[in-house]
Amino acid sequence: MRRHVTRHALLLLLVLATACTHAPPSLSPAGVVDFNQTRLIKGLDVFMDIAFAGEAVTPPKVSPQNATRIRDYHQVAVRTILKRDAGWQAQVATGLDGVVATLTPTEQQILAPYVALLKTVLQEVQ
């Protein structure tokens, strides 16, 4: 279990370091949008991976139903981000809040750092 926690802590540090990065000043406006969308998608990937890792441990820390909800949210959020329709940030944020609301208090606590990461990146791309 300790190895499992350590691995996830290192992954979180790596993601936070990447997520806190700002777009290089040499990028065009379209490049900045792509850069920020990639940061957000990577954060969504980690959020989903942690949910499924939480489901895989014994006893499960995340229910299979909620891991599936997170996967479904991930798929919709990535499609929404890549469409670049007006208001995509609000749609992704609203979906995230909806998924978090379905989680148990324990699951919310486990996933809180990843939810905070996603919300931070979403605020930065507004």
Report which of 107, 98, 114 is spatially closest to residue 43, judged by C-alpha positions. Answer: 114
C-alpha radius of gyration, the chain, whole number: 15
Instruction: Give the per-residue pLDDT at 68.
Output: 97
List, in order, residues 6 or more apart from 100 with CB less than 8 Å away: 108, 111, 115
Instruction: Give the per-residue pLDDT at 28.
Output: 87
What is the domain range of residue 46? 2-124
pLDDT tens by residue, 47-75: 999 999 999 999 999 999 999 999 999 99
List, in order, residues 6 or more apart from 4 with CB less than 8 Å away: 53, 57
Buried b (16+ CB within 10 A) or exposed e, 22-35: ebeeeeeeeeeeee
Domain total of the chain: 1
Residue with the bigger pLDDT between 31 and 114: it is: 114
The token pair at 45 is 């990937």
Is pLDDT of 41 > 80?
Answer: yes
pLDDT tens by residue, 70-126: 999 999 999 999 998 999 999 999 999 999 999 999 999 999 999 999 999 999 887
Q: What is the mean pLDDT of residues 23-35?
A: 83
